[in-house]
A and B are shown apart, each in its own frame.
Chain A
Amino acid sequence: MPRGKVAGRKANGLDTLWRASLDDYVNDLAWSSDGRTVAAADVAEPISILEADTGEVLKRLSGHGFGTTSLSWNTRGVLASAGQDGKVRLWDVNSGEGKELDGGSQWVEKVAFSPDGKHLVSSAAKKIRMWKRSGELLWESEDHQSTVSDVEWKPGSARDLATSAYGGVSLWKPGSPKPARKFEWQGSTLKISWSPNGKYIATGDQDSTVHFWIVSHGMDLQMFGYATKVRELAWDAHSRYLATGGAEAVTVWDCGGKGPEGSRPLSLEAHTEFVSTLSYQRRGNLLLSGGGDGLAVLWEPGRTESPLAVTTLGSAISTLTFSPDDKRAAVGSDDGSVWMMGIS
């Protein structure tokens, strides 16, 4: 996309560094904490460990029957995975050996290591399970009202987490099978995202809305007007901007100042089909969006509503994530391609 140079800044760009081909639809991508490898899970069985610099497949892990749904690395290089075989696995990537844990149902939706890497949470059907990183089961939650749609650790916290399900958000403290708090909403919540400063929990909902919960007192704000269900949420590092999908445009709410209530959000327009995935840089201000149209678009919300760079990858984008140093982004698509994009 042609654009003039802004004084004092060089133009941003998205450069394709490499492309790797997996068997099928890319469900999840996860960077190892040293930024050297990317683990890729697809809807077919295996998990591929890709070298971040080259795209070379370093290892194929056997993965999960009927598909791997979710991946998470801890800081010690252990990779956790979940799948539709009802299992959670902890992988020693070097040896390719996996330790199998019972997810508690026939389908495990998500796994996530705690920020300090010591604990692992898994969600399956109406429950979450908490594991030591060694694989020892610590506790299991009581049933949620429906299947747990998402689970996320409180940023920077070693212990606290939040889950979403039909009926709203539950906050959990370690060791108790009952939620410490509940933010109730009679709707189906699909995706949860905790602001990096821990003050807000945003949810994307089946009924084409986004909710903001103010964690300190549990008040909520509901944002209407989305074209479809909202499963794409991303906070910027400063907890000011929340980028949301649920439409062709990326809608960005400004939670600075008086907060998003009554404000008009930024509307970032470049995609010609629904936005399918969003990711903010871990420390920087850049936002990357992927769409059903196969476009990857780089933005800097708050500075300009125009895209900084647009790249056509051809096939609908399913997931994307920035590298630990924010200089690259791994992008997965529905035809099994994994792309490495350089951010300049």
Chain B
Amino acid sequence: MTEVLEGSRVPVTVLTGFLGSGKTTLLNRILTENHGKRIAVIENEFGEVGVDQELVIGADEEVFEMNNGCICCTVRGDLIRILGNLMKRRDRFDYIMIETTGMADPGPVAQTFFMDDEMRDKMQLDSVTTLVDAKHVSQHFDDSPEVTEQIAFADVILLNKVDLVEEGEVDKLEARIRSMNAAAKIYRTKDAVLELDKVLDVGGFNLDRALDIDPKFMEPEYPFEWAGVYELEAGKYEFAFEEGPDPAMKAAILPISNADSVELDLARDRTVLLFSGEEHPVEAGKSIVPSQKVYELDLGGGKSSFGVEISEAGAYALFTEHYPEEFEAELRGNGTPLSPVLEREYAPDHEHDDEVTSVGITTPGDLDVQKFNAWLGDVLQNLGQDIFRMKGVLSLAGEDTRFVFQGVHMLFDGRPDRPWREGEERTNSLIFIGRNLNREELNKGFEACLAEK
């Protein structure tokens, strides 16, 4: 097949969202704003506001399977037909917007641009942009899988109509949406008002921008739930537990150079690594010391206590696998409970147990290519139907360049990227967005693909 230059393909934005979320308002805004682009609009339903544009084509949402029944290979026949014809025209459009019905599954729409040669050669899916009605969406989370799928697929999410909802509620909603889709850009809007460059030419499926993910959203799920920073004098302390839900708990205590959040974050990253290593069992009554070790405290199911020996005065960060309050655990000096000068909680908000989640993996080191291929093949084979989107940057053993990839369901698209820079840490960062994903298993499976050092 002939090589197609990125620039020669016409970008396509897929607009999803429930009826009433403001899709048509956004569409009209895009069409009337002075951006110099000629935009063709493919409409699936009549929106609440008529679209005023010379070329609006109605589609009829014709979904079919390419290969006998696999949902990962479903495409939209109507789009192949309509867009195929549109692309014949000499007066090519600069941009194509596809407005789907509120109940549409974005999967087949997106897959159409990868499964059909003609579509792939002539057009470039730029983004799935999802509008969310901030006032009403919560009602639909539980009874409508379409809402969560539209959020999961999105590169850009507009939390629209925020003016109708109290700010605190919007914060909660955003956090919940973020836990479903950690890779999307989320904007709060009123009347879908937003700079157009946030919606057009976003490059959501562009490998060059595969890792344009805000790093703070790539945070892994931490293996500990709590950390406290204490200013301690040299001496003997006591870590005391009441009866709690678990018979054992991992903990680590590290000296840090300052009792501030910067130092705590550094210690946090070191501790993530410690927790992935071997733990050192400690019986009740024995002591632990600040070190680069993770201890497994044997709580025995009842009251227990451990010594903490501090040889040098300074700031120390204590990390615990569970919340101390679950065990009424306290760090005591001379029998008096000590308060941490700084405290952090790392467990995600478990208030809503949404089926759709994002699993981010950030692991330094090089991958054994064969192992990784086998593992990813296995993951896509078994979970492909449940994985909506994935993207990432990989460090492959023996390669001087980064490897970037992205995918929709089972469709995988990847290639070598720029060389690793001098002094740059070779790190793998990837994200899966899907339904019922097992975070621990994905992490373990991935870790097992790291090459021997």
Contacts and interface: CB of A to CB of B under 8 A. Distances in A.
**A and B held together in a complex:** yes
Interface of A: 23-25, 27, 43-44, 67, 69, 84, 106, 125, 146-147, 166, 186-188, 206-207, 227-229, 273, 318, 334-336
B116 A229 contact: yes
A35 to B, nearest CB: 28
A211 to B, nearest CB: 14
B421 interface: no
Given A187-B66, A206-B77, 7 more contacts: A43-B88, A44-B90, A147-B60, A206-B75, A227-B1, A273-B2, A334-B88
B303 to A, nearest CB: 65
B60 to A, nearest CB: 7
A84 B64 contact: no
A27 B88 contact: yes
A25 B90 contact: yes
A185 to B, nearest CB: 10
What are the nearest 5 A-B pairs in CB distance?
A25-B88, A228-B117, A43-B88, A24-B90, A166-B64
B90 A125 contact: no
Interface in B73-101: 75, 77-78, 80-81, 85, 88-90
Nearest to B73: A207
A134 B90 CA distance: 35
Contacts of B66: 187-188, 206-207
A187 B74 CA distance: 11
A226 to B, nearest CB: 11
A146 B88 contact: no
A207 B115 CA distance: 9
B116 A147 contact: no
A24 B89 contact: yes
A187 B68 contact: yes
Given A186-B68, A228-B117, A336-B90, A147 B78 contact: yes
Contact of B85 (A67, A186, A336): A67
A147 B88 contact: no
Contacts of A273: 2
B62 interface: yes
B151 to A, nearest CB: 29
A279 to B, nearest CB: 20
B245 interface: no
A188 B77 contact: yes
Given A229-B116, A229-B117, A336-B90, A146 B62 contact: yes
B88 A186 contact: no
B328 interface: no
A84 B84 CA distance: 13
Interface centre among A27, A69, A166, A336 (most CB of B within 10 A): A166
B400 to A, nearest CB: 33
Contacts of B88: 24-25, 27, 43, 318, 334
Given A166-B77, A188-B77, A125 B117 contact: no
B85 A147 contact: no
Interface in B20-75: 58, 60, 62, 64-69, 75
A24 B88 CA distance: 8
B68 A43 contact: no
A202 B226 CA distance: 67
A147 B2 contact: no
B173 to A, nearest CB: 38
Contacts of B58: 106
Nearest to A166: B64
A113 to B, nearest CB: 23
12 contacts: A43-B88, A125-B60, A146-B77, A147-B62, A187-B68, A188-B64, A206-B64, A206-B77, A207-B67, A273-B2, A334-B88, A336-B90
Contacts of A186: 65, 68-69
A206 B2 CA distance: 20
Contacts of B116: 206, 229
Contacts of B80: 206
A23 B62 CA distance: 31
A186 B68 CA distance: 6
Contacts of B62: 146-147, 166
Contacts of B68: 186-187
Interface centre among A69, A229, A334 (most CB of B within 10 A): A229
Contacts of B1: 227
A81 to B, nearest CB: 16
A227 B1 CA distance: 9
